[in-house]
Amino acid sequence: MSRTALILLAIIMIAVPARAQQSEPLAELRIDRRTVSPVGAMLRSFVLPGWGQLSLGGEFNRRGAVHLGADAILITSYIWLHYNAGSLENNMFAHVSRYAGIDISNRSRSFQLAVAAHNSLTAYNDFQERSRQWNEILENVPQNQWIWQSEQNRFDYQEIRNRVDRSRQQLPAIATLMVANRIISGVHAFMSARRIASSLPEVSLSMPYYGDPTGVMATVSFRF
């Protein structure tokens, strides 16, 4: 036995009287094993779905992986749809420029729909006159003039435009699912962390100080 160990043993023997051999507990130790508070787990899952469950560990890892995987799929889908819509839109502008002879990239949606519905500016204005929609007639200037080379070219433009619109219309739905995934994951993480906190047992050990008849209780708490 080393010299240090002998010194420590002697100090303990002097400090604790012989009557300490009674059946009273020697110390009180409370162990709190919660690694993450309920609010902390919830906030983690709001930031990144599944993070709250993964921080709790154990049986919650699988649920966390599901939320995390769903978020990865949704984000990937959103990026792909946004990129695909942009790519289709560029192809649409090039198609119109080639087969109708007009640049619609910076024109209003109503003008783009007019180009899709009529073979030329003259045909469009004739239709508005027959419908008595005088305020919809476009000025006959070079920047407003278009003539489709064929009906099929115009139909192809309509199809490309519909594909662009479908892609863009899906983006809000995916964004909503991303928000819903965060809310569901956050609520579940909060409830799981609170259930863990309420089910943890406490281990206590008390050590009275015999030099004082009133006694002294020392409590040591650990969070890990």
Q: Which of 29-38, 96-105, 184-193 has the lowest mean pLDDT?
A: 29-38
What's the pLDDT tens digit per position in 106-119? 999 999 999 999 99
> Considering only 45-54, 96-105, 176-185, 208-217, which range has the smallest mean pLDDT?
208-217
Q: Is 143 left (phi over 0), alpha (psi -120 to 50) or beta?
A: alpha
Mean pLDDT within 85-101: 96
d(CA 184, CA 144): 51
pLDDT at 5: 47
User: What is the three-class DSSP state of 197?
Assistant: helix
- Quick check: 204 pLDDT over 60? no
Distance CA 51, CA 57 (A): 10
Cβ-contact 2, 182 below 8 angstroms: no
| Mean pLDDT for the stretch of residues 146-174 | 95
Is 219 a residue whose pLDDT tops 70?
no
Q: Calculate helix-pair angle for 151-199, 109-117, nearest 10 degrees.
A: 130
pLDDT value at 86 more than 80: yes
**pLDDT-based confidence at 130, cuts 50/70/90?**
very high
**Per-residue buried b or exposed e for 46-81, using 16+ beta carbons within 10 Å of the residue's own CB:** beebbbbbbbbeeebeebbeebbebbeebeebbeeb
pTM for the complete prediction?
0.66
Answer with the residue of higher pLDDT: 23 or 132.
Answer: 132
**30 pLDDT above the threshold of 50:** no
User: Hey, what amino acid is at 172?
Assistant: P
Residue spans of beta strands (DSSP E) within the chain: 28-32, 219-223
pLDDT more than 70, % of the chain: 73
| Residue 197 pLDDT | 84
Give me the chain's average pLDDT, please. 82
pLDDT band at 214 (very low <50, low <70, confident <90, very high): low
